[in-house]
């Protein structure tokens, strides 16, 4: 029985720095530097400069963070319209976010928005990135524009900032600002069910309209409701930069 290495077609193997660069990690030079600094592993082993990998099967990590390098990986940014639901399949046959993006390759939403919430949501077939973006330990920020009925008092804003008592516990400190008379901007890094609605309700300001305007570094005010686009390499890179920073527990001394 030939070893798995010999079962691969030779052209499936490519230089690691080329594979990393294509995945949006940085220029080849930057990727080479990461390899030299021994921050890259391939299938659990520290990689060497010049090493060849098969992007379809090799498990590549930088600073312990899994990096999706398969060529079939796609990353969509969708502006979810009101009324569309986030689950992949709805028993009531309502329209879902999956209906708004290409059917192949099959993608899944990263986290969820309520049916009555609008705004940005990512969809991808990169399970590792989904995990990192939704796992509370990475604390990726999500920004919401929140319309309320009457101008919130300073006290209400202070409470929202400090954390409010909900039935599933006190919320983490949030960034909260008043952008207009009845419009709040709230940035949270937790992802509890209907969290922003429940936070606002708990300080006496039921939400009239809720729009997610940012996911980590990703913004796009020109994307119309129902429209989607692929993430740019630069955007993917900026997401990974945040994750790597959190993962390595301190600022990186590299410009990715
Ligand atoms: N907070 C909410 O209340 N709803 C959402 O859809 C997202 C965050």
Q: Which residues are catalytic?
A: 114
Are the folds of 14-71 and 141-215 the same? no
* Separation of alpha carbons 216 and 239, rounded Å: 7
The residue to mutate among 85, 114, 115, having the most atoms of ligand 1 within 8 angstroms of its beta carbon, is 114
Closest Cα to residue 158, out of 172, 170, 176?
176
Q: Is the CB of 145 under 6 A from ligand 1?
A: no
70 in contact with ligand 1, CB cutoff 6 A: no
Q: Which fold has domain 75-136+218-237?
A: Alpha-Beta Plaits (3.30.70)
Residue 34 region, left (φ>0) first, then alpha (ψ -120 to 50), else beta?
A: alpha
Calculate how far, in angstroms, residue 174's C-alpha sits from the geometric centre of ligand 1.
Answer: 14
Which residue, judged by its Cα, is nearest atom 6 of ligand 1? 113
CA distance 202 to 188: 16
Closest CA to 73 of 59, 54, 60, 56: 56
**Mean pLDDT value of segment 218-238:** 95
| Pairing mode, strands 45-46 and 40-42 | antiparallel
Each residue of 124-171: pLDDT tens digit? 999 999 999 998 888 899 999 999 999 999 999 999 999 999 999 999
Give start and end residues of each alpha helix (H) in 149-219. Answer: 154-162, 195-202
Calpha distance 178→231 (Å, rounded): 30
Atom of ligand 1 nearest to the CA of 197: 3
At 247 the pLDDT is 42
Q: Which two tokens stand for residue 60?
A: 């590549």
pTM score of the predicted model = 0.89
- Nearest CA among 12, 54, 15 for reference residue 35: 15
Say which CATH topology domain 14-71 has. Answer: 3.10.290
Q: Is 196 in the pocket of ligand 1 (CB under 6 A)?
A: yes
What DSSP state is assigned to residue 218?
Answer: B
Question: What band does 242 get if pLDDT is binned at 50, 70 and 90?
Answer: confident
- Within 8 A by CB and 6+ apart from 181, the residues are 151
Residue 79: CB within 6 Å of ligand 1?
no
Rounded to 5 degrees, φ, ψ at 69 are -120, 0
Q: For the chain, which residues make up each domain, given as ranges?
A: 14-71, 75-136+218-237, 141-215
Tokens describing residue 36: 């030299």
> How far, CA to CA in Å, does 188 sit from each of 10, 169, 183, 234?
47, 15, 16, 23
Out of 1.10.286.10, 3.30.310.50, 3.40.190.80, 3.30.70.1560, the CATH code matching 141-215 is 3.30.70.1560
The rounded distance, in Å, linking the Cα atoms of 52 and 137 is 33
Over the stretch 170-196, which tens digit does the pLDDT of each residue have? 999 999 999 999 999 999 999 899 999
Q: How does pLDDT run across 16-58, given as a tens digit for each residue?
A: 999 999 888 888 999 999 999 999 999 999 999 999 999 999 9
Q: Cα separation of 228 and 189, whole Å?
A: 23
Calculate how far, in angstroms, residue 83's C-alpha sits from the geometric centre of ligand 1. 13
């Amino acid at each position: 029985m030939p070893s798995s290495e010999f079962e691969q077609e030779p052209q499936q193997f490519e230089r690691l720095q080329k594979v990393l660069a294509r995945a949006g990690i940085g220029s080849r030079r930057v990727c080479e530097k990461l390899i030299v600094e021994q921050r890259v592993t391939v299938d659990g082993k520290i990689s060497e400069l010049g090493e060849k990998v098969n992007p379809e099967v090799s498990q590549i990590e930088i600073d312990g963070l899994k990096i999706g390098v398969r060529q079939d990986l796609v990353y969509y940014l969708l502006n979810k319209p009101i009324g569309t639901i986030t689950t992949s399949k709805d028993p009531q046959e309502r329209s879902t976010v999956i209906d708004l993006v290409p059917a192949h390759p099959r993608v899944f939403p990263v986290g969820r928005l309520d049916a009555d919430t609008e705004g940005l949501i990512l969809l991808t077939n990169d399970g590792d990135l989904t995990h990192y973006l939704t796992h509370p330990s990475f604390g990726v920020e999500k920004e919401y524009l929140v319309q309320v009925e009457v101008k919130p008092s300073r006290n209400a804003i202070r409470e929202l900032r400090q954390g409010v008592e909900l039935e599933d516990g006190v919320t983490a400190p949030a960034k909260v600002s008043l952008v207009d008379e009845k419009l709040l901007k709230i940035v949270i890094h937790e992802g509890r069910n209907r969290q922003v609605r429940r936070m606002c309700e708990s300080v006496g300001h039921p939400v009239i309209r809720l729009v997610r305007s940012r996911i980590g570094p990703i913004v796009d005010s020109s994307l119309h409701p129902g429209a989607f686009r692929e993430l740019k390499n630069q955007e993917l890179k900026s997401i990974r930069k945040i994750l790597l920073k959190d993962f390595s527990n301190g600022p990186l001394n590299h410009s990715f």
